[in-house]
Structure 1
């Protein structure tokens, strides 16, 4: 007869996500996970697999909770450019105001694991492709509605905005001048004028 779990796996996954987000993959040990999750090492292995599998599940959870909201905000009816501008502003403010210097879990995964971990790279690419597609759709709508000049390429602009947004997240990780990120956001928004 199988034993019932004596802990909430979803709550444990949220705590693991927070720990990996704070420290990164390499700096988080199994002992750290046992302590933060408040469950035995055997329960971690039995429920999630090893540290690597737990990290990937935490990253997937992050993507499930953050990516859909972006597409929803960009696909609201009416003018599209205000939503794109608001997204850029939100990224800038979150990056400039990140007192804990956690950054974005996707950017952190891209820098720390993606170069040598195919599964982490796949998740990072999926997130970036999702954001690029949502921006492309919004910018295409903006062009079709006359908000964006007819000669502007929505896909190329979406890719540029994606790179700028991710760059803001990188700068948010370091103790840097927050004005740098805010100035970049204003310049990015001017692309649509």
Structure 2
């Protein structure tokens, strides 16, 4: 009979997510994961299968936390443009406050693995589609309330807002100050 696990796999995935988010997939070694989780390599592979399997779980964990939080912010009550500005501002502030300047794990994964990893690409595509749908729904709500012109293409604006978030999250990784990010946020919201 095998020994019982001495660690919580959910906590382990959380720690692994932090490592992958900070270092990227290729930059993360099995030793990095072992050190972060506090288990042996045998336990790592017995529990999670492979580095890639653990990465997929970490990326899903990210989706379930970060992407869901963004969508929930967009669905709060109040004027559409106020909610949008608050959400974009929150993302920029969060990224700028992060001492590691990790940005967005989904954006980082798309930049690193889109050409080489079909599973990771599909996970990111689904995350982006879900976020874009939330932006489209926000625009349609704004059209019903009169905040956004009804003739505007809500799907195109949803895509524009997703693209804005991707750009903001990348820019925040190297920004010296929040000024440029604030200008992008203001221009984006004012363009609606």
Please say whether Structure 1 and Structure 2 have the same fold, judged by a TM-score greater than 0.5. yes
Please say if 1:179 is aligned against 2:184. no
Compute the RMSD of aligned alpha carbons: 1.6
Structure 1 unaligned residues grouped into runs of 5+: none
* Contact 1:17-1:62 at 8 Å conserved across structures: yes
Q: Deviations over 1:84-103 (max 9, x none)?
A: 22112222323344432111
* Contact 1:88-1:189 at 8 Å conserved across structures: no
* Contact 2:103-2:173 at 8 Å conserved across structures: yes
Q: How does 1:37-56 map to 2 (within 5 A)?
A: 37-56=37-56
- Distance of 2:31 and 2:149 partners within structure 1: 56
- Distance of 1:158 and 1:94 partners within structure 2: 22
* Contact 1:81-1:147 at 8 Å conserved across structures: yes
Shift of 1:34: 1.2
Q: How many residues matched?
A: 192
TM-score normalized by the length of structure 1: 0.92
Q: How does 1:1-193 map to 2 (within 5 A)?
A: 1=1, 3-192=3-192
* Contact 2:88-2:165 at 8 Å conserved across structures: yes
- Distance of 2:99 and 2:35 partners within structure 1: 24
- Distance of 2:7 and 2:88 partners within structure 1: 39
Structure 2 unaligned residues grouped into runs of 5+: none
Q: Deviations over 1:152-193 (max 9, x none)?
A: 22211111111011001111222545322221111111112x
TM superposition outliers: structure 1 runs of 4+ over 4 Å: none
- Partner of 1:121, secondary structure, is helix
